[in-house]
């Protein structure tokens, strides 16, 4: 990466993450969390609290702290954003009125994410109108999925309303395909099963570097058991809940009170669950691993086999017992861990002599977003 610092902005539902990239490395990173109340801010080694009623307050507070560290907006080459849903946009893009219209139109598809990305983009445009802005989209990597994988079995008039499988975590999966060859010293495996496991979790079948299937669908709710999201659930069960409890309550239940949290009785963090030796916590972890293994089989079938597994994300990179349980469940493929390597969190996890390679690939979404921004600017 060359050409001056790039500010990467990742706006979540109650947080904003910042990272300044220069020369291919992170120069400074920061975080605002607890947005909507008494917030907490971090920039480098600094920590402080202040009221953060909304994103429009939190972002300027972080930017003021950046300026105090010698990085005012005028020194930046660009601001690059993570946007969860790109709708019809299938590649990184410069922020233009047309791009904003598309992101705004995708709000019904990602109501918990896109509004906050828009708020960050619009705040920066107000504070620094001449600063170029770009967006990288979590849905874009999955644009290569065949229609048979993306279309629900619904009439065309319904599909035309945008009801289809999109897939998410695409920035993470795209970064993984670039990082793994550098890590392994070999070409990207032809059939790679990537496991992004964190509070949000999904799997991706990557054939010849291209996504061909993924576990998330119309929204980030479907697929695996997650921190607070239910994952796979029958549509008629959702309809019954909506009829009995109301749509708003059902939406909150499925997105915020289900998954590991619902199964364990309130714990959504995998580290805490592993430290809490109760029947409920053990079952929640087993549920998480069972559905990862079960859906892995589906994605392996979509690729016609598998040559390697790659774990990424907070759980994928740090929870050795979870990795061990998932690999054990895929033992019929010939998957076999080196126990010492797994316990140490080594990059190479597979045992000597095993045919199926297994890796940990550190998540590098921010780096990928910064690289996307510079590629767009250099292309101009």
The 3 state secondary structure assigned to 78-135 is EEEEEECCCCCCCCCEECCHHHHHHHHHCHHHCCCCHHHHHHHHHHHHHHCCCCCEEE
Q: Tokens representing 126?
A: 């107000």
Long-range CB pairs of 186-190 (<8 Å, 24+ gap) are 189/307, 189/308, 189/357, 190/307
Point out the catalytic residue in the list 138, 234, 245, 277.
Answer: 138
Contacts of 319 (CB under 8 A, 6+ apart): 197, 270, 271, 274
| pLDDT for the residue numbered 223 | 97
Q: For residue 196, how many other CB atoms are within 10 A of its CB?
A: 29
Bridge partners (DSSP) listed for residue 346: none
277 is catalytic: no
Task: Show Cβ contacts of residue 168 under 8 Å, excluding neighbours closer than 6 positions.
Answer: 84, 138, 139, 142, 200, 202, 214, 216, 220
Apex 231 CA angle, 276 and 191, nearest 5: 100
Could you give phi then psi for residue 163, rounded to 5 degrees? -85, 100
Q: What is the pLDDT of residue 92?
A: 96
Strand spans (E) along 165-303? 191-197, 201-207, 210-214
Fold of the CATH domain 6-137: Nucleotidyltransferase; domain 5 (3.30.420)
Contact between 206 and 177 (Cβ < 8 Å) = yes
> Where in the chain are all domains bearing CATH 3.30.420.40?
6-137, 185-360
What element of type H or E holds 32?
Answer: strand 25-33
Nearest-angstrom CA–CA distance, 342 and 360: 9
- The C-alpha atoms of residue 35 and residue 57 are separated, in whole angstroms, by 9
What are φ and ψ of residue 11, in 5° steps?
Answer: -95, 115
pLDDT in tens, 210-248: 999 999 999 999 999 999 999 999 999 999 999 999 999
CA dist 168 and 137 (Å) reads: 9
Architecture in CATH for domain 185-360: 2-Layer Sandwich (3.30)
Beta bridge partners of 192: 206, 308
Q: What does each of the 380 residues of the chain score in pLDDT, given as a tens digit?
A: 446 899 999 998 788 999 999 988 999 999 998 888 888 999 998 999 999 998 889 999 999 999 999 999 999 999 999 999 998 899 999 999 999 999 999 988 888 789 999 999 999 999 999 999 999 999 999 999 999 999 999 999 999 998 999 999 999 999 999 999 999 999 999 999 999 999 999 999 999 999 999 999 999 999 999 999 999 999 999 999 999 999 999 999 999 999 999 999 999 999 999 999 999 999 999 999 999 999 999 999 999 999 999 999 999 999 999 999 999 999 999 999 999 999 999 999 999 999 899 999 999 999 999 999 999 999 87
- CA–CA dist 356, 334 (Å, integer): 6
d(CA 168, CA 216): 6
72 φ/ψ angles, rounded to the nearest 5 degrees? -65, 165
Please tell me the predicted confidence (pLDDT) of residue 4.
81
**Alpha helices in 106-227, H assignment, sequence order:** 114-127, 147-150, 156-159, 170-184
Q: SS3 for 20?
A: strand
Give CA–CA dist 253/229, Å, rounded: 8
SS3 51: strand
* CB-based contact 359:346 (threshold 8 Å): no
């Amino acid at each position: 990466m060359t050409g001056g610092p790039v500010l990467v902005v990742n706006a979540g539902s109650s947080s904003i993450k910042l990272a300044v990239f220069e020369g291919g490395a992170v120069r400074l990173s920061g975080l605002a969390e607890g947005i909507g109340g008494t917030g907490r801010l971090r920039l480098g080694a600094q920590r402080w609290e202040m009221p953060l009623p909304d994103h429009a307050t939190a972002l300027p507070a972080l930017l003021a702290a950046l300026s105090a560290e010698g990085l005012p907006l005028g020194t930046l080459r660009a601001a690059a954003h993570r946007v969860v849903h790109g709708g019809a946009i299938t590649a990184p893009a410069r922020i233009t009125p047309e791009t904003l219209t598309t992101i705004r139109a995708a709000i019904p598809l990602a109501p918990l994410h896109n509004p906050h990305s828009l708020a960050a983009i619009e705040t920066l445009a107000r504070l620094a109108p001449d600063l170029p802005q770009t967006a990288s989209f979590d849905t874009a990597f999955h644009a290569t999925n065949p229609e048979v994988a993306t279309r629900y079995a619904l009439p065309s008039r319904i599909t035309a309303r945008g009801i289809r499988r999109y897939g998410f975590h695409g920035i993470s999966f795209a970064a993984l395909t670039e990082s793994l060859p550098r890590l392994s010293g070999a070409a990207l495996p032809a059939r790679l099963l990537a496991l992004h496991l964190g509070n949000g979790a999904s799997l991706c079948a990557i054939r010849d570097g291209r996504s061909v299937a993924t576990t998330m669908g119309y929204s980030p709710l479907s697929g695996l058991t997650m921190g607070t999201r239910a994952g796979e659930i029958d549509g008629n069960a959702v309809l019954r809940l909506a009829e009995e409890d109301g749509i708003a309550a059902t939406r909150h239940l499925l997105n915020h009170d289900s998954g590991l949290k619902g199964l364990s009785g309130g714990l959504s963090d995998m580290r805490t669950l592993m430290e809490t030796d109760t029947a409920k916590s053990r079952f929640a972890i087993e549920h998480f691993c069972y559905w990862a293994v079960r859906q892995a089989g589906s994605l392996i079938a979509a690729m016609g086999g598998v040559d390697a597994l790659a774990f990424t994300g907070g759980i994928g990179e740090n929870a050795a017992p979870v990795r061990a349980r998932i690999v054990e469940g895929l033992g019929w493929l010939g998957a076999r861990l080196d126990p010492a390597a797994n316990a140490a969190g080594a990059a190479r996890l597979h045992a000597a002599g095993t045919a199926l390679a297994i890796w940990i690939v550190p998540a590098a979404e921010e780096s990928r977003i910064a690289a996307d921004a510079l590629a767009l600017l250099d292309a101009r």
